[in-house]
A and B are shown apart, each in its own frame.
Chain A
Amino acid sequence: MSYDREMSFSRSRAFFFAAVALSACGPKEKVVKIAVAVPLTGDMGTEGQGIRRAVELAVEQANAAKRFPYKLAAAPYDDRADPKEAVNVANLIASDRQVVAVIGPYNSGCAIPAGKVYARAPVAMISPTATNPEVTVQQLSKDWIGPRVVFRVAPTDDVQSAYAAEYIFRRLGKRRMAVLHDKTPYGQGLAEQFQKAFGALGGRILSVDGISVGDKDFKALLTRIKADSGRPEGLYFGGLYAEAGLLLKQMRELGLDDPFVFVSGDGAKTPTLFDVSGDAADGAYFSIFGVPVEELPGAGRFVADYKARWGAQSLKPFDHFGYEAAQIIFDALERSGPDRERVLAQLRQTRHQGVLGLTVFDEKGDTLNKIVSMTRARAKDRSFQMVR
C-alpha cells in the first residue's frame, strides 16, 4: 500500500518536472546544436576556451538576426587535449541527435581518433586548428568506415613547415639546424616535414630528438646540441607552448642566444608562452597558418564584436578559425535544413567568403586557402609581430 503511494508520488513529481522543463523551452521551439569539442581545461584550455567563446558569439549573432527558423545552441565539450577523452566526447556527441555538426577537436592527436567516431555517426566535423595531414588523409584509406566527414579550416603542417624552412634558409640565411619534437602527431609531423623541406633547399639537419609532453628538464639535451661539432645555427621545435617556453628559458640559461635562432609552429604561439618562458622568448620565430587576426582585412568586424561580447583581453590566437568554422556550418545549414547528412553534403559544396578569406574544401576536406606567415615574439608586451 505504502509502496503504491510512493510510486504515484514520485511519478506525479516526474510529470510535474517534465511539464516545467517543457514550458521553459516554449511550446514548439526546436533547438539545433553545434557541438564544440576542444580542450576547456589544462594547458590547452586557454586556446580552447577562446574557440568556444568565438562559436558562442557566432551562435548568438545568428539567433539575434533570426537567421534560422529554429534556435541554435553551442554545446561545449571538454576533451582535455587527450585523445582518449576526445573519443569519449565524440561518442557522447554522436549520440545526441540534436547535434548537426561539430567544431573541433583542437589537437591533431585528438582529431585523428575522433574523426573515426564522427564518420560512423555520421556527423560532419570541422577542426579549426588540427594541422597534421593525417587528420583528413586517413579518410582516403580503404579501412575507413563511413563517409568522409572531416573538414578543416587550417592549412596542413607540410605547408607550414615548408614555409618555415624556406624562411630560415632564405631570409635568416641559416644552413645548419637541430630539430626537436614532442612525439605527438602534431609536433612530430611538423618536425618531419620541416626536415624534408630544409634538406631539399640544401640545408643540413644536424640532429633530431624527441621529448615528451610534460618533460621539464631539457638541459642535458640542449647542452649536447650546443656542443654539436656541426655548429648548429638554430633549433626547430615541433610542439606546444609549455615545452617551447621551457626550452627557450633553458636555452638562454645555457648561453644559446642570438644569433642562434629558435623557430617553432603555431601550437607554441600563444601569449601563455610568456608565462612559462618569461623574457627568454624574445626574438623567437613562430610560423602560423593564416595571418594574425589583426592583419586580416575581413576580420575587423569579428574582432570588434568579440571584444564587445567577451572583453578586450579575451581574444586568443585561433578564435577567428572557430568563428569561421561556425559560419561555414551556418551556410550549409541554410541550404540544407537541420539534418546531419544533408549538412554534410552541403559542407562539401562550401564556397564561403569570411574572416579568413575564401574557403573551399578539396576532396579530402582540406581548405584550399593555404596562407601561412611568420611571426616573432616580443616579450615587452607579450605579443607576436608579423615579419616578412
Chain B
Amino acid sequence: MLVQQLLNALTLGAIYALIALGYTLVYGILAMINFAHSEVLMLGAFAAWALAGWAPAALGSGLWGAAGLLAAGMLGAGLVNVLIERLAYRRLRRAPRLAPLISAIGVSIVLQNAVFLWVSTQSLAFPQPAGTSAVSFLGASINGLQLAILGAALGLMILLHLFIARTRMGRAMRACADDLEAAKLMGVNADFVIAVTFFVGGALGGAAGVLYGMNYGSIKYNMGFLPGIKAFTAAVLGGIGSVRGAVLGGFLLGFLEVLAAGYIPNGAQWRDVVAFAALILVLLARPSGLLGERAAQKV
C-alpha cells in the first residue's frame, strides 16, 4: 500500500509542481500573481483536445501521439500566456500592484466563460494514450500512463533548469528577476525576456493541463480552478519566486493530500483541510516559504 500511495503522491505532486512553476516564474520577474494561470492550463488542455479531434489519425494512440498532444498543449498555452501579458498586463507594469492582480482575475473569468459559452459546458472526453494496463510492482499497480506523466513532468523540470542555468536567455531571465531596471540598463530587452518568461510558464501550465486531462480522461471549462489554486498554494509553500521551491512545494502538497486521504480514517473529506493547515503552519514559521528568500533573490 505504501508504495502505491507514494506513486499516487508523485503523480499528483508532479502535476502541481509543473503548474506551480508557471506562477513562480512570472512572480520572480514581475512580482505579480498571474491568476489567469489556471485558465492557461485549461486552454492548453483544450488546444490538445482540439488537435486530437482535428487530426486523430496523424497522432496515433501510442506515446508519440501523447507527445504530440503535449507539444500542442504547450504551444497553445504558451502563446495564450504571451498574449495575456501583452494585452492585459504590460500596460499595468508600473500601475499600483492591485491593478494587474484584478486584471488577471478578469482575464481568468473571461477565458473561462469564453470556453463555457463557445466550446462546451460539459466534461469532454480527453484522449488517453494506449498502454494504460496496470503492471504489478512491489504490491503496487503502476500503469504506463502514470509513468509517462511522471517522466514527462520530471523531464520538463530538468529542461527548465538547464534553460535557466545554461542559456543566454536563462541568464537574461535571472538578471531581470534580480533587478529589472538594472538589467534594462545593461542592455537586456526586458519586454522580450518577460514575453519569453510568460511563454515558458504558460507552456509548463499547458503541459500540466494535458497531463491532467490524460490522467483523468476528461476536461472541462473550469478544470483549471482547483489545481490552479492548489499549485499556487504549492508555490507559496515552497517560496514563491523560487524555481526549486515550486517543485518542492508541488511534491509536498501532493504527498500531504495523499497521506491525508490514504491514512486518516475518513480522510478524503479532510484532505484539503490537512493540506492547507500544513500550509498555514509552514507560513507562520517561514513567511517567505520553505526555500524563499526575503525578496532579495527570486529565481
Q: For A246, what are the chain B residues with a Cβ–Cβ distance below 8 Å? A: 216-218
Contact of B125 among A42, A208, A255, A275 (CB under 8 A): A275
Instruction: Name the CB-closest residue of B to A211.
Output: B268
B217 and A210 form a contact (CB under 8 A): no
A209 and B123 form a contact (CB under 8 A): no
Contact of A211 among B122, B123, B260, B269 (CB under 8 A): B269
How far does the Cβ of A245 sit from chain B's closest Cβ, in whole Å?
A: 7
Q: For A272, what are the chain B residues with a Cβ–Cβ distance below 8 Å? A: 122-123
- Is B8 close to A, CB under 8 A? yes
Contact of B121 among A41, A209, A218, A220 (CB under 8 A): A41
A223 and B218 form a contact (CB under 8 A): no
Interface footprint category on A: 35 or more
B125 and A209 form a contact (CB under 8 A): no
Give Cα A283–Cα B140 distance, bound, in whole angstroms: 24
How far does the Cβ of B130 sit from chain A's closest Cβ, in whole Å?
A: 12
Instruction: Name the CB-closest residue of B to A277.
Output: B217
B8 and A223 form a contact (CB under 8 A): yes
How far does the Cβ of A257 sit from chain B's closest Cβ, in whole Å?
A: 9
- B residues 209-264 near A (Cβ < 8 Å) are 212, 215-218, 220, 226, 257-263
B12 and A217 form a contact (CB under 8 A): yes
A224 and B122 form a contact (CB under 8 A): no
Give Cα A278–Cα B128 distance, bound, in whole angstroms: 10
Give Cα A41–Cα B121 distance, bound, in whole angstroms: 6
How far does the Cβ of A324 sit from chain B's closest Cβ, in whole Å?
A: 26
Instruction: Name the CB-closest residue of B to A217.
Output: B12
Contact of B123 among A212, A253, A276, A278 (CB under 8 A): A276
A41-B121, A220-B257 known; A253 vs B266 contact (CB < 8 Å): no
- Is B167 close to A, CB under 8 A? no
Give Cα A385–Cα B151 distance, bound, in whole angstroms: 40
How far does the Cβ of B46 sit from chain A's closest Cβ, in whole Å?
A: 16
Instruction: Name the CB-closest residue of A to B266.
Output: A209
Q: For B259, what are the chain A residues with a Cβ–Cβ distance below 8 Å? A: 220
Give Cα A226–Cα B1 distance, bound, in whole angstroms: 8
A254 and B218 form a contact (CB under 8 A): no
A220 and B217 form a contact (CB under 8 A): no
Contact of A227 among B1, B141, B215 (CB under 8 A): B1
How far does the Cβ of B1 sit from chain A's closest Cβ, in whole Å?
A: 4
Give Cα A180–Cα B165 distance, bound, in whole angstroms: 47
A224 and B261 form a contact (CB under 8 A): yes
- Is A45 close to B, CB under 8 A? yes
Work out how many contacts link A and B, with CB atoms closer than 8 A.
Answer: 107
B134 and A254 form a contact (CB under 8 A): yes
- B residues 1-53 near A (Cβ < 8 Å) are 1, 4-5, 8-9, 11-12
- Is B101 close to A, CB under 8 A? no
- Is A258 close to B, CB under 8 A? no
Q: For A180, what are the chain B residues with a Cβ–Cβ distance below 8 Å? A: 268
Interface centre among B11, B12, B116, B141 (most CB of A within 10 A): B141
**Contact string, A43-85, partner B, CB cutoff 8 A, digits 1/0?**
1011000000000000000000000000000000000000000
A253 and B134 form a contact (CB under 8 A): yes
How far does the Cβ of B10 sit from chain A's closest Cβ, in whole Å?
A: 11
How far does the Cβ of B179 sit from chain A's closest Cβ, in whole Å?
A: 40
- Is B132 close to A, CB under 8 A? yes
A276 and B125 form a contact (CB under 8 A): yes
A254-B141, A276-B217 known; A221 vs B4 contact (CB < 8 Å): no
Q: For A252, what are the chain B residues with a Cβ–Cβ distance below 8 Å? A: 134
Instruction: Name the CB-closest residue of B to A227.
Output: B1
A276 and B134 form a contact (CB under 8 A): no
A254 and B123 form a contact (CB under 8 A): no
- B residues 75-89 near A (Cβ < 8 Å) are none
Give Cα A219–Cα B216 distance, bound, in whole angstroms: 11
Give Cα A254–Cα B142 distance, bound, in whole angstroms: 8
Q: For B297, what are the chain A residues with a Cβ–Cβ distance below 8 Å? A: none
Q: For B4, what are the chain A residues with a Cβ–Cβ distance below 8 Å? A: 219, 223, 226-227, 254
How far does the Cβ of B51 sit from chain A's closest Cβ, in whole Å?
A: 19
A207 and B134 form a contact (CB under 8 A): no
- Is A249 close to B, CB under 8 A? yes
B218 and A275 form a contact (CB under 8 A): yes
Give Cα A41–Cα B119 distance, bound, in whole angstroms: 12
B8 and A253 form a contact (CB under 8 A): no
How far does the Cβ of B65 sit from chain A's closest Cβ, in whole Å?
A: 16
Instruction: Name the CB-closest residue of B to A209.
Output: B268
How far does the Cβ of A212 sit from chain B's closest Cβ, in whole Å?
A: 7
- Is B265 close to A, CB under 8 A? yes
A209-B268, A214-B226, A255-B134 known; A221 vs B122 contact (CB < 8 Å): no
Give Cα A275–Cα B126 distance, bound, in whole angstroms: 9
Q: For B141, what are the chain A residues with a Cβ–Cβ distance below 8 Å? A: 253-255
How far does the Cβ of A369 sit from chain B's closest Cβ, in whole Å?
A: 31
A43-B122, A220-B8 known; A207 vs B265 contact (CB < 8 Å): yes
How far does the Cβ of A238 sit from chain B's closest Cβ, in whole Å?
A: 14
How far does the Cβ of A49 sit from chain B's closest Cβ, in whole Å?
A: 10
A46 and B216 form a contact (CB under 8 A): no
- Is A242 close to B, CB under 8 A? yes
Instruction: Name the CB-closest residue of A to B262.
Output: A220
Give Cα A42–Cα B115 distance, bound, in whole angstroms: 12
CB-defined A-B contacts under 8 Å, sample of 11? A42-B121, A43-B123, A210-B268, A220-B8, A220-B259, A245-B217, A249-B216, A249-B217, A255-B134, A276-B123, A276-B125
Sorted from nearest, which 6 A-B pairs have the closest CB atoms?
A41-B121, A220-B262, A220-B261, A227-B1, A210-B269, A220-B258
Beyond the given pairs A210-B269, A253-B141, 17 more chain A to chain B contacts, judged by CB atoms under 8 angstroms and listed by A's residue number, are A41-B116, A42-B122, A43-B123, A46-B122, A216-B216, A220-B257, A220-B268, A223-B8, A224-B263, A249-B217, A253-B132, A253-B134, A255-B141, A275-B123, A277-B217, A278-B125, A278-B217
